[in-house]
Structure 1
Amino acid sequence: MNVCKIAAVLLSGVLLAGALPLPVMAQQPTAVYYTSISPAVNGGEPIRGVDISSILSVEKAGVVFRDESGAPADIFQILADHGVNYIRVRVWNQPNDGKGHSYGGGNSDVKAAAEIGRRAAQYGMKLLVDFHYSDFWADPEKQRPPKAWEGKSVAEKGTAIYQFTLESLRTIREAGADIGMVQVGNETNCHFCGEDDMYKICDMFKAGCNAVRDFDSSVLRVLHFANPSTGYYDWYAKVLAECNVDYDVFATSYYPYWHGTSEDMTSVMRKIATTYNKYVMVVETAYPYTNEDGDTFGNVVSKDSSGVTFRYDISPEGQTACLTDVFQAVANVGEKGIGVFYWEPAWLGKQGLSWEEQRKHWEEDGSGWATAYAKEYDSSVNDTGGSSYDNQAQFSFDGKPLASLDVYKNVYPQAYRFRQEDTAALSDGYYLIRNVGSGLYLNSDGSGNAVQSAQEVQWHLQAVDGGYTITSAEGQFLTAGEGSSTQSAVHLSSRTGKDDQVYTIVQSGDSLMLLTQTTGQAQCVDVFDRSTYEGAWMTYSKALQTD
């Protein structure tokens, strides 16, 4: 991690006002390193993701999450502080009966996804939008099309998929989400949106992928299958190639108690990556830490379950070891292995309630896996139900982080992520900006030529929404951050063609970090992007002259 600490020095002294401390990354012996991940993917960082699609309904039901000290805290902050950099959220088309009655399962419509994406972006976490193209759960056992699409031809469903995808993504982005990936279908093992012919399915995949491309060509397009031990993955990838489906990521669900060994999973995914030149990742995984139940509704797996193989202890330590191994298994794929998402680590029920009291929350808040109203759409629903994954959560039943949540801190490389409340309060005024590592001051000569000895230039900091603009007091040069930098720190450059960069000032120890806010996150400013040591060289800068 290349951290560039910068001291902001007022002419009368050092100003360290109103800042919050940065999270500290603990070193653990179970660290996982992605040594060759492409800079084109998440800035060169592995995806350390979680799917918390149920979170709004869980919060509505009264579940409280707590930080390491036991104090109530925003779960998005807790996740970000533990190294999570991506949130996954499912989207159902119309998860209700049309009369105001939700099907449950988190009430996972576009509106909910937009709110989850907005909150994730506040803490620097990107969003993977997981379209099921169904009104309720889509998985290998069921892929029913939305009620409004039933009876449509494959071509008509393709058109509907395109329109729904594009419109939904625009809505989610407008809410403030930082969309980095979009999943076209969920666990589509030769079944998708009511079809079971893989070649017809590919036509619908194309429609969804085209919508993502037209929305934003930089967003990665993901296709998702379940269980790499089936032996079908190579055939799926082969048909996708034959049909010229334009996608970026071949993703898998991998639940170790159902889906074989991590070594076999690595082998299967590596073959996909090398044969078809696709990124690969685990987009769903989980493991139990206890056999107990926390919400009066049974667990999908426990020590007495049949048809499962537990390769780790059912304990917090076993859960931690399992998740670490899953991250390592994807890293072992090589440069095309890009990361892991844990499925529903916060799907809890409020504690101290009877079954009847829990059922009321499931029914009214949608915080369980289904409500009775879902029976009209999903024949597998018998009655209202709760969470069957709370014993696989990464929080205890009373909302405290478990040891496995620290795994994300120990998957490298990592870059600091912008969080809104980190911004220190600085008064408008003129400052000297000095690099703590080199002792040199930020300088701007306007020409872009190397400056052999840095000059002490005053910079005018002016507060704007979400941060500060920084203008040179000598020559009126306004800084611009080059957003295309592949380094862990962004250098100042005029090549963006923009003069509207906004910066945040964050306290770190006795100094301040200068971060540039670009696309919903921020990175540490570095004036010379080929710096090889912490405390980047401040002997080169280029800026845009203001009108």
Structure 2
Amino acid sequence: MKKTLLSAVIAVFGMLLNANAQEELLVGGDISVLPRYEAKKVSYYDQQGKKITDVMQYLKSDAVGWNALRVRLFVDPSGDSDPQVCQDLNYVVPLAKRIKAEGFKLLLDFHYSDTWADPAKQWTPASWLGLNDEQLKEKIYDYTKDCLQVLVDSGATPDYIQTGNEISYGMLWGQKGTTANRCYTGSNANWPRFIALLKQAGKACREVCPDAKIIIHTERAGKPSVLKGIYQKLASVDYDIIGLSYYSFWHNNLATLASSLTQLATSFPNKKVHIVETAYYYQYQPAVGEGIDYDFSSTWPISAAGQKAFTQDLITELKKHTNVTALYWWFPEENGNGPNNSVLNDWVNRGLWNNTSHKAHSALYELKEFLNRESSGVEQHKMNSTDTKHESKYYDLQGRRLNGEPRLGGIYIHEAKDGRRIKTL
């Protein structure tokens, strides 16, 4: 009897200990341009109009509740005229240090390019163009390793690492405009080269940041069969998480996203999924064919309220898919343009602050709802940097949380700020 009881205690205790590790939930955004807004002294206000003195601290406050931030990294963006393309290693290191110091999880997004890397643009950095494929494999390994080592030595070790950005059709294609080296799921051409590059990048990640999770990021969320084909082709690559971009105006409706997520859960049951980019317009959405592919303004109006409704509906859908464990908003810090703010050439109009009033949109405060789930009949505890008021909790051997401290003698799981332990009363 004692042996059976002890086994039960160990089983429940193990379940509680592993719950967070297995189901770590993350919510946040890519805040790669924030230092430029800060340098321009652009004002940020909350929804009520109160000035925010430190945006990063506000993002982790109870009001917002974020626990993860993403930063992109270009090789040498100095020749790019887009003011958003400025994140070289010297820019990223102090930003990453701040993120870690504030207690956020850090997602580092390697672009492996001097400019935007996306499905239509995966141009090799100018300084790498003279390298053949074998030399390029060594270069991506050395570059990845060197960048990560600088971050580690600076106290800014990434927790998650994207080895490429939206690499649905491969990466490091060559000179701008080339059609060589692109990968398509209906052909085997160029895949061995692409896979070899990913393996070299991943090797560097494992060596320098062995505890970090590697993400392979694509954006075919609107094409479930293509999405499946990509990750089937990459079966031999060592990685941990499938990363997706999902923008309804490019990737279709939530039903399509649901089909993709279900397909991934079925085909790759051991891989969690992170939505590493999403956003929705709150004003001035482009016309179909002139910047977007789908218009859902009849479902989610192009307004702050419509942006909030999109966010709510997206989170409702994502909660149905237990393989999805992270959600990031892209460019949430966008905050105006004009004579006193030359951060952008043009407004994007998908951020979480209003470009004119500089007040936060309601969608900013909805994102934390992604974290509100229950797991395995036990309230899932999400202890992270925002847990400044952690309370002591008790569970019985069936995994049920007690209302306060136990009143009867017995064996319980006691969860406190410093960890969980078996407690006999």
Same structural fold, with TM-score higher than 0.5 when normalized by the shorter chain: yes
3-state SS, counterpart of residue 65 of structure 2: coil
- Counterpart selection for 1:349 from 336, 349, 352: 336
**1:488/1:79 Cα in 2 relative to 1: closer, same or farther (>3 Å)?**
farther
Post-superposition Cα deviations, 1:511-542, rounded to whole Å, max 9, x if no partner, equal xxxxxxxxxxxxx235x535xxxxxx6x79xx
For 1:232, the equivalent position in structure 2 comes to 226
Query: Is the CA contact 1:67–1:78 (under 8 Å) kept in the aligned structure 2?
Result: no
**1:488/1:303 Cα in 2 relative to 1: closer, same or farther (>3 Å)?**
farther
Task: Quote how far apart the aligned CAs of 1:86 are.
Answer: 0.7
Please tell me the residue identity of whatever aligns with 1:410.
Answer: E
- Counterpart selection for 1:318 from 301, 306, 309: 306
Task: Determine whether 1:307 maps to 2:274.
Answer: no
Q: How does 1:54-453 map to 2 (within 5 A)?
A: 54-67=33-46, 70-81=50-61, 82-97=64-79, 104-194=83-173, 195-196=181-182, 197-230=190-223, 231-241=225-235, 244-276=236-268, 277-291=270-284, 307-310=293-296, 311-334=299-322, 336-350=323-337, 353-354=338-339, 358=341, 361=342, 367-368=343-344, 385-386=345-346, 388-389=347-348, 391-397=349-355, 398-411=357-370, 412-413=372-373, 415-418=382-385, 438=405
3-state SS, counterpart of residue 247 of structure 2: coil
CA distance in 2, matches of 1:399, 1:169: 35
Question: What's the TM-score, normalizing by structure 2?
Answer: 0.77
3-state SS, counterpart of residue 529 of structure 1: strand
Query: Is the CA contact 1:53–1:106 (under 8 Å) kept in the aligned structure 2?
Result: no
Query: Is the CA contact 2:85–2:115 (under 8 Å) kept in the aligned structure 1?
Result: no
CA distance in 2, matches of 1:332, 1:80: 25
Name which structure has the greater RCO, CA cutoff 8 Å, separation 6+: 1
For 1:459, the equivalent position in structure 2 comes to none
Where do 5+ consecutive residues of structure 1 fail to align? 1-35, 292-298, 362-366, 369-384, 424-436, 441-450, 453-486, 491-523, 531-536, 541-547
CA distance in 1, matches of 2:206, 2:385: 27
Task: Quote how far apart the aligned CAs of 1:179 are.
Answer: 1.8
**1:399/1:115 Cα in 2 relative to 1: closer, same or farther (>3 Å)?**
farther
3-state SS, counterpart of residue 111 of structure 1: helix
Query: Is the CA contact 1:199–1:239 (under 8 Å) kept in the aligned structure 2?
Result: no
CA distance in 2, matches of 1:170, 1:324: 39
Query: Is the CA contact 1:415–1:488 (under 8 Å) kept in the aligned structure 2?
Result: no
Q: How many residues align?
A: 365
Where do 5+ consecutive residues of structure 2 fail to align? 1-14, 174-180, 183-189, 374-380, 390-403
Task: Quote how far apart the aligned CAs of 1:40 are.
Answer: 7.5
Please tell me the residue identity of whatever aligns with 1:89.
Answer: V
3-state SS, counterpart of residue 159 of structure 1: helix
Task: Quote how far apart the aligned CAs of 1:106 are.
Answer: 4.8
CA distance in 2, matches of 1:488, 1:417: 18
**1:37/1:180 Cα in 2 relative to 1: closer, same or farther (>3 Å)?**
farther
3-state SS, counterpart of residue 107 of structure 1: coil
Post-superposition Cα deviations, 1:287-345, rounded to whole Å, max 9, x if no partner, equal 01223xxxxxxx667999663221412222221221233233333222x2212111001
Question: What's the TM-score, normalizing by structure 1?
Answer: 0.60
Query: Is the CA contact 1:222–1:249 (under 8 Å) kept in the aligned structure 2?
Result: yes
Please tell me the residue identity of whatever aligns with 2:384.
Answer: R
Task: Tell me which structure has the larger Cα radius of gyration.
Answer: 1
Query: Is the CA contact 1:128–1:182 (under 8 Å) kept in the aligned structure 2?
Result: yes
CA distance in 1, matches of 2:199, 2:21: 24
